[in-house]
Amino acid sequence: MAAKIGFVGLGIMGSGMAANVLAKGFDLTVWNRTSSKIQELVEKGARGAHSSAEVAAASSIVLICVTDENAVHEVLFGPQGVVEGARPETLIIDMSTIAPQASSDHAEKIAACGLSMLDAPVSGSKEGADQGTLSIMVGGEKSDFERALFVLEAMGSTIVHVGESCGDGQTVKLVNQLLASGNTLVMCEALLFAQAGGVDLEKTLEAVSGGAAGSWMLTHRGPQVIRRDWQPGFTIDLQLRSISAVLKAAVDNSVPVPLMNQLYEHYKTLQAQGHGQKGHHALIKALENIAGFKVGPVGLPED
């Protein structure tokens, strides 16, 4: 019999993740605040629910992927939340990106309800979610990790149990955000530098991508910047939430992260200018405003 899996949150990441769980043949029940997202998966064979509680009642493992810690709290503990519908054997896996302390607090409340929880944030953007190649960083008891591994393997190609406490996964995800955000900024600076030097941008990418300067960000987002293509794998709004979580954790742990402070200001300005739903590689716009010129061939549309 196929395992009964629930999925709550079918946004830019969750929709692809849930589709891959369904494609592996699991019995899947889904819920999302936007009902059209539910219908897309129902047409592929999933069952739609009317609430998070209904998802939990139908599932032995419930996956959650929503926007922030307030949304996670509401989905778990609010009216018609997961806890309301869960049974003692239910395993809850939060795959959202939130502050480590928030994840730890949620896990304590979950345990008080007699339930088990893992935090398992992901990296790989929309491409990884759609293709089932995400990196998944898991915190929580090893026995729960082993119980969950078969369904995590439907969504990711790199799955690491990083610690025995909920919140450990979120800490490693923030390490990921530090590295990825820093890569984005340096990539944008480099492309602006190349534009100013008058060299062919596509040939520049080809020349440097295979060497020591190569990175996932350069390969996947560099061409989008050149084309002025702001289709998101991860939006500016979501990136701001991630950077805010990094900054809070850095203050809590007395760690200097000056680059993250700079990025926060750039992204906050872009959000105020109405760019929040663009891909986070639209960071180039902030640098272009300072430089007074744009990256890419003259005449390309802005959006």
Catalytically active residues, by annotation: 173
d(CA 86, CA 62): 9
d(CA 4, CA 162): 26
- End-to-end Cα distance, the chain: 48
Please name the residue that has the structure tokens 């990094």.
246
3 state SS of 1 = coil
Contacts of 15 (CB under 8 A, 6+ apart): 37, 40, 41, 129
**Where are the extended beta strands (E) located within the chain?**
4-8, 27-31, 47-48, 61-64, 91-94, 116-119, 122-123, 134-139, 156-163
With b for 16 or more beta-carbon neighbours within 10 A and e for fewer, the 252-266 pattern comes to eeeeebeebeebbeb
Residue 118 backbone zone (phi > 0: left; psi -120 to 50: alpha; other: beta): beta
Evaluate whether 137 touches 145 at the Cβ level (below 8 Å): no
Evaluate whether 89 touches 57 at the Cβ level (below 8 Å): no
